[in-house]
């Protein structure tokens, strides 16, 4: 969360710095507006690229979590099946030896 706030602050500061620099440069109004448009487009594209990268990392992490959860589920199912099998063997063994369940 702190990194996101820092990144947003950095982006806002960069945009403000660019705007201030462009507005104080000795150019005509038409040139200044064109430069502002171009820089705004560049900044927007960079932001979109970073958002896409973040989405990719989230997708990858989600898949890893799903895979891990599936692995744990399968392990738990095998352990449960093994325990049931062992219990069935124990129950069958007690019946064949004539011992009563305690």
Domain boundaries defined on the chain: 14-96
Q: Give the whole-angstrom CA distance, residue 59 versus residue 52.
A: 10
pLDDT of 5 above 60? yes
pLDDT at residue 35, rounded to an integer: 84
For 35, list phi and psi in degrees, rounded to 5: -65, -40
Average pLDDT (12-26) is 77
Centroid of chain to Cα 58: 2
Query: Which alpha helices (DSSP H) does 1-102 contain, by range?
Result: 2-24, 29-97
Q: Are 26 and 39 in contact (CB under 8 A)?
A: no
Lookup: tokens for 29: 């109004």
pTM over 0.85: no
Beta carbons within 10 angstroms of residue 89's beta carbon = 10
Q: Residue 56 has what pLDDT?
A: 94
Compute the average pLDDT of residues 18-25. Answer: 73
């Amino acid at each position: 969360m702190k990194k996101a706030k820092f990144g947003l602050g950095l982006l806002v500061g960069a945009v403000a710095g660019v705007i201030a620099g462009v507005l104080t440069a000795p150019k005509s109004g038409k040139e200044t507006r064109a430069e502002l448009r171009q820089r705004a487009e560049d900044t927007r594209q960079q932001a979109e690229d970073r958002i896409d990268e973040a989405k990719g990392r989230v997708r990858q992490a989600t898949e890893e979590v799903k895979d891990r959860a599936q692995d744990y589920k399968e392990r738990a199912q095998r352990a449960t099946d093994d325990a049931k099998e062992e219990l069935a063997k124990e129950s069958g063994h007690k019946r064949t030896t004539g011992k009563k369940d305690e």
